[in-house]
Amino acid sequence: MFELTDQDRILQIRLARPPVNALNLELLAGLADQIKDAPGRGTEAIVLAGNPGLFSAGLDLPELLRYDAAGLSGFLQTFFATLSSLARSELPVVAAFTGHSPAGGTVLGLFCDYRVMAAGDFRLGLNEVEVGLVVPPLVHGALVRLLGPYRAERHLLDGRMITADEALAIGLVDELAPAEAVTARAAAWCREHLALPRQAFLGTRRLARADLCALFDDQSTLGVETFVSEWFSEATQKNLHALVARLKAKREAPREAKAAPGPMQ
């Protein structure tokens, strides 16, 4: 599920769940554990990365579509607990968006301290409206904190993935780096801040992130029940199953093209 690298007091957690680092129950629970255990191993900062060209494809929709209401509710609680571990981490966490990062992948970055995105033809963003979902209030609150109310509104209502350049322009990511240098730049950001007076840096960080952590204080505002209800509506189920079918066809198309006889065969 993860590839771990320790260097200069910086722990790199690379998502490693083939083929697309889809976020399922096991990966999310494991990530929360890695974040919580990091201070005990002498780590002073964390870089959360993916594979070249792809950070994470978001939530594992085929797995989630097999859940009943209780199962989906449990999954959401785990997802939110992982987001809480990022928001409340004792250590700064930098998201190294090494490539595409739709929906759930983008959400992980909202709760990190800083976001470095691969420059080039890569996309990320919250496209829930496009697939018939409403983002949970928790995620909306984190997006508003990052972008401001109006830009968050426009991004959510557009319901589409955006380019790396667009993400930088609206503040969804903090900087762009060449694809091959994203994790190195994320680690450099960590080293720059580790060089600051430690007590002052961590105390200021806690103060600055108090509003982000406060989003988790009232469990009734997380929006689990509403999200579950919307998920199982007829319209949403139709949209989700159609999306999964399109993604499956897209993955299988290259294999079929390779196996098909050529014009000279």
What residues are labeled active site?
A: 128
- Rounded distance between C-alpha atoms, residue 85 and residue 191, angstroms: 22
Angle between the N-to-C axes of helices 224-231 and 69-87, in degrees from 0 to 180, rounded to the nearest 10: 140
**154 three-class SS:** helix
Contacts of 18 (CB under 8 A, 6+ apart): none
Contacts of 220 (CB under 8 A, 6+ apart): none
CB-CB contact of 187 with 7 (8 Å): yes
Q: Other CB atoms closer than 10 Å to residue 95's CB: what's the count?
A: 29
Tokens 């594979």, residue? 51
CB-CB contact of 251 with 164 (8 Å): no
Contacts of 43 (CB under 8 A, 6+ apart): 6, 9, 10, 11, 91
Adjacent-strand bridge partners of 93: 46
